[in-house]
Amino acid sequence: MKNFLTVSAAITAALITGGALAAPKISAQSIIVNPTQPDLSVKVSVDRDTTGSQVASYRVGENVRISASVNQDAYVYLFDIDAAGKITQILPNRFQSGANFLKANTTKVFPAAGDTYSFSIAGPFGLNKVLAVASKTELNLSNISQFQSGQQFATGRVQGQQQLAQALSIVVNPLPQNTWVSDTALYSVAPTQEVRTGSMFVGSSAPGSVVYLNGRSVGGANVTYTELKPGRYSVRVVTPGYSDYTVTVSIRPGAVLNLNVEPVYAAAPAPVQQSRADIALRSSVTGALVFIDGRQVGSIQNGGLNVSVSQGSHEIVLIAPGYRTFVNTYTVTHSETLTIDPTR
Do 154 and 79 lie in a common domain? yes
Question: Which of 190, 219, 243 is at the close of a domain?
Answer: 190
Q: What is the pLDDT of residue 21?
A: 54
Averaged confidence pLDDT in the chain: 84
Do 26 and 125 lie in a common domain? yes
| Total number of domains in the chain | 3
For residue 90, is it left (φ>0), alpha (ψ between -120 and 50) or beta?
alpha
Do 207 and 312 lie in a common domain? no
Do 178 and 219 lie in a common domain? no
Q: Is residue 344 part of a domain?
A: no
Do 71 and 155 lie in a common domain? yes
Do 180 and 240 lie in a common domain? no
Could you tell me the residue range of the domain that residue 86 belongs to? 5-190
Q: What is the pLDDT of residue 196?
A: 83
Q: What is the pLDDT of residue 20?
A: 45
DSSP-assigned letters across all residues of 42-86: EEEEETTBSSSSS-EEEETT-B--EEEEESSSEEEEEEEE-TT--
Do 47 and 158 lie in a common domain? yes
CATH number at residue 237: 2.60.40.1120
Q: What is the pLDDT of residue 13?
A: 33
What does residue 170 show for φ and ψ, rounded to 5 degrees?
-65, -35
Beta bridge partners of 198: 228
Residues of the chain short of pLDDT 50, as ranges, are 1-4, 6-20
* CA distance linking residue 278 with residue 309, whole number of Å: 6
Q: What is the pLDDT of residue 115?
A: 79
Q: Is residue 268 part of a domain?
A: no
Q: Is residue 245 part of a domain?
A: yes
Do 291 and 216 lie in a common domain? no
Do 52 and 173 lie in a common domain? yes
Question: Which of 147, 173, 190 is at the close of a domain?
Answer: 190
CATH number at residue 283: 2.60.40.10
